[in-house]
Each structure stands twice: as C-alpha cells, then as structure tokens.
C-alpha cells in the first residue's frame, strides 16, 4: 500500500479549522462526502463516531487515525488534515492532536483494513515523518510530504 493510492490532494488540508473531536469527525465526514458522492456525510459521521466510542484512535505524539468501515465504500479512502490548533482527542499519551489521517474502508475489507492501519501507525510513529508534515507550509506541501515516504 502506498499513501498516494488512498489519498489525494483534494482530501488533504493544511490548517483545518476544527476545535473539538466531534467537530473534527463531522469535518472529515463532510470532506470525504463532498469529494466522493458514494458517501453520505451524516452516515459517515455516525460510523466514525461509533468507532471512536469503542476507544480513542489517538495514537500519541499529536496523531490520530480515526477510521471506520462503510458499506458505501468501494475502495480504501484516506483524508489527511493538519489542524490549525491541536485539539484534545483522548490520545493514549493525553497530548493534543494536530495531525489526523482519517481512513474509510469497505465493510468487507477486514484484513486490508488492519494492514493499512498498521502501515499508517508505523509511518506516524516516525518522528521525522511527523516533523516533515508539521513543517509543511500549505496543503500542497503537506500532501507531497505525506506521499513521499
């Protein structure tokens, strides 16, 4: 799996203006639904929220990977956000989150879902990778840095 196979510049945003976990999940759902008409924003929000209620997807180091499976999803879809200001995300290290990679996978893609999540967690555990993303100055640079690894 390469990031450029699941992420587009249109689903990447530098300086996303969200102020809470709930607003972030709404923002993600709306952004993905606007980019891909197979998704319904309200339904996607509820799926993301339901997954988040099982336990925070905040990995630590200011990173979260909210994710869910969706019956409307036909291919793995990602969205990358660098928040304007870090927010509380109930991460494992209690640090606020400013880097978000949302992941939506087809409902039946159990193994692939776990593989992609593992690859994302490995990438975001690298301090250099996080630093490169955080030092991006705009959406285009954020996208290019994200897919370069």
Nearest to 99 by CA among 42, 43, 145, 54: 145
Residues known to be catalytic: 67
Residue 134 neighbours by CB distance under 10 Å: 13
Residue owning tokens 């250099």: 128
Q: How far is CA 103 from the centre of its chain?
A: 5
Q: What does the DSSP 8-state code read for residue 6?
A: T
Phi-psi region of 123 (alpha: psi -120 to 50; beta: other; left: phi over 0): alpha
Range list of H helices, 36-138? 41-53, 110-124, 127-134
HSE, CB side, 13 Å, CA atoms: give it for residue 2: 9
């Amino acid at each position: 799996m390469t990031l450029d196979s699941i992420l587009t510049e249109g689903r990447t945003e530098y300086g996303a203006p969200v102020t809470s976990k709930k607003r972030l999940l709404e923002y993600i759902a709306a952004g993905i639904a606007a980019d891909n008409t197979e998704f319904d924003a309200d339904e996607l929000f509820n799926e993301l929220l339901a997954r988040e209620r099982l336990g925070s997807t905040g990995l630590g180091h200011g990173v979260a990977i909210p994710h869910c499976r969706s019956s409307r999803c036909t291919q793995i879809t990602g969205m990358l956000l660098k928040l304007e200001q870090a927010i509380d995300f109930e991460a494992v290290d209690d640090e606020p989150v400013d880097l978000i990679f949302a992941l939506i996978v087809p409902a039946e893609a159990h193994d692939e879902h776990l593989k992609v999540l593992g690859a994302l967690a490995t990438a975001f555990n690298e301090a250099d990778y996080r630093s490169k993303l955080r030092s991006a100055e705009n959406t285009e640079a954020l996208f290019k840095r994200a897919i370069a690894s």
